[in-house]
Amino acid sequence: HTANEGSFKWSAPSNIALVKYWGKKENQIPANPSISFTLNNCKTITTLDFQKKDNDTQFSFDLFFEGQPKESFRPKIEKFFQRIAAYLPFLSDYHFTIHTENTFPHSSGIASSASGMAALAMNLMSVERLLNPDMTDDYFYKKASFLARLGSGSACRSVKGSIVVWGEHEQTEHSADLFGVPLLDAVHPIFENYQDTILLVDKGEKQVSSTVGHNLMHGHPYATQRFAQAHHNLSKVKEALRNGNTELFINVVESEALTLHAMMMTSMPYFILMKPNTLQIINKIWEFRAATGIPVCFTLDAGANVHVLYPERDSVKILEFIKNELVAYCQNSQYLCDILGKGAVQY
Ligand code: PMV
């Protein structure tokens, strides 16, 4: 099959890890398995136009972010193309025009690499499928996740929903280092439509790139223990999800967030990525939970923003609590309401 030109459009959501991926081996292989909630509202929408070109010696693409040419994204995409070229032989046959936009505010401190790389991987797989129409859906999505992983590790968890495992885990069937797989276990109804309200505490540039961060786990004094712990915590999160055990869920998820930050605080060089307001919010959540018994908890990425996780049935009370007590700690009072989602969507 050949195609001279065409266009595809996909969106892919962000995801929030419950058990964190922190540390990797060669070729974007994770040092430990992780599990995440796929989000719904925070996403990247990407259009990929492709046009056959004469020379097939190198990659050629133009990049637009929210309608404007975006040269600063070029090195990341260039590197991504180099990594995936061996798996997508058509890559150097076409000139690509990439138009991309996020539904969340620019420089909100929300990492767009997961949603962005996943959306681009979906589009590239659509070209691949156009040229090889016989591929199965299963192959299509697995390879999309495989490619997304090579762009940004956590991006492989954004292809599908609503709960995804990435990394070989002895107690999770079909789990793999090379791509994310949706959790197939039945999940207790309390975790259906689970809510994630993201409090934007600090919208500044990341202090530590995740590439640098992952590398700090090489030779880290606690690395071996940490990687073993992630395996145990993944089993516990799955048990909590299955049984509707919110107490176990909260214990593991909050411990994972603090452990991620503890790894950064104890690496060399060391970093503190939380801000004073991050701690204020955590303490407020703990007070509220003790006072009301509502199973709300927090998690963190490699930054100061706080993800507040809670069941849909408690939404009204939690949103009231957030508005009355937590918004004061957000930069420009900004927060984003999200919910479990189903993964990438083609337009
Ligand atoms: O996908 P990367 O390389 O940007 O790493 C992301 C790592 C964390 O967000 C901190 C944790 C995770 O599992 O998503």
pLDDT (tens digit, 9 = 90+) per residue, 118-166? 999 999 999 999 999 999 999 999 999 999 999 999 999 999 999 999 9
209, pLDDT greater than 70: yes
Confidence of residue 203 (pLDDT cuts 50, 70, 90): confident
Same structural domain for residues 170 and 210?
A: no
Distance CA 338, CA 196 (A): 5
205, pLDDT greater than 80: no
User: Of the candidates 152, 186, 220, which is a domain's last residue?
Assistant: 186
Nearest atom in ligand 1 to 154's CA: 1
Pocket (CB within 6 angstroms of ligand 1): 17, 20-22, 34, 113-114, 152-154, 210, 260, 301-302
48 CA distance to ligand 1 middle (Å): 25
Q: Which residue has better confidence, 209 or 30?
A: 30
Same structural domain for residues 14 and 114?
A: yes
- Residue 174 CB burial class (10 angstroms; 0-12, 13-18, ≥19): exposed
Nearest atom in ligand 1 to 114's CA: 1
The per-residue pLDDT for 315 is 98
Nearest atom in ligand 1 to 211's CA: 3
The per-residue pLDDT for 109 is 66
Quote the mean pLDDT of the chain.
95
Domain assignment present for 346? no
- What percent of the chain has pLDDT above 70? 98
Confidence of residue 54 (pLDDT cuts 50, 70, 90): confident
The per-residue pLDDT for 1 is 53
Q: What residues contact residue 48 under an 8 Å CB cut-off, 6+ apart?
A: 7, 8, 9, 96, 97, 98, 120, 123, 124, 126, 127
Domain assignment present for 234? yes
Same structural domain for residues 56 and 144?
A: yes
How confident is the model over 48-68, as a mean pLDDT? 92
177, pLDDT greater than 80: yes
Same structural domain for residues 110 and 166?
A: yes
User: Of the candidates 167, 186, 205, which is a domain's last residue?
Assistant: 186
Rounded to 5°, angle at Cα 87 from 81 and 90: 70
Hey, which of 15, 16, 19, 20 would you mutate to test ligand 1's pocket, going by the most ligand atoms within 8 Å of its Cβ? 20
- What percent of the chain has pLDDT above 90? 92
Q: Which residue has better confidence, 107 or 173?
A: 173
The per-residue pLDDT for 112 is 83
How confident is the model over 285-295, as a mean pLDDT? 98
Distance CA 28, CA 21 (A): 11
The pairing of strands 60-65 and 163-166 is: unpaired
Angle between helices 137-151 and 74-84 (to 10 degrees): 130
Same structural domain for residues 11 and 150?
A: yes
Domain assignment present for 212? yes
307 CA distance to ligand 1 middle (Å): 14
Please give the full DSSP string across 93-142, using - where no structure is assigned: GEEEEEEEEESSPTTSS---HHHHHHHHHHHHHHHHHHHSTT--HHHHHH
The per-residue pLDDT for 110 is 74
Rounded to 5°, angle at Cα 214 from 211 and 216: 110
The per-residue pLDDT for 107 is 64
How many Cβ atoms from other residues are within 10 Å of residue 219's Cβ? 9
Contact 339, 41 (CB under 8 A): yes
Confidence of residue 267 (pLDDT cuts 50, 70, 90): very high
Hey, which of 210, 253, 273 would you mutate to test ligand 1's pocket, going by the most ligand atoms within 8 Å of its Cβ? 210
Number of structural domains the chain divides into: 2
Please give the full DSSP string across 270-326, using - where no structure is assigned: ------HHHHHHHHHHHHHHHHH----EEEE-SSS-EEEEE-GGGHHHHHHHIIIII
Same structural domain for residues 81 and 111?
A: yes
Same structural domain for residues 27 and 163?
A: yes
The per-residue pLDDT for 206 is 73
Amino acid symbol at 200? L
- Residue 51 CB burial class (10 angstroms; 0-12, 13-18, ≥19): middle
Nearest atom in ligand 1 to 19's CA: 13
Alpha-carbon distance values, 75 to 71, 168, 289, 302 (Å): 8, 30, 45, 22
Nearest atom in ligand 1 to 153's CA: 1
Domain that holds residue 130: 5-186
Contact 344, 228 (CB under 8 A): no
251 CA distance to ligand 1 middle (Å): 20
Distance CA 120, CA 113 (A): 10
Distance CA 222, CA 218 (A): 10
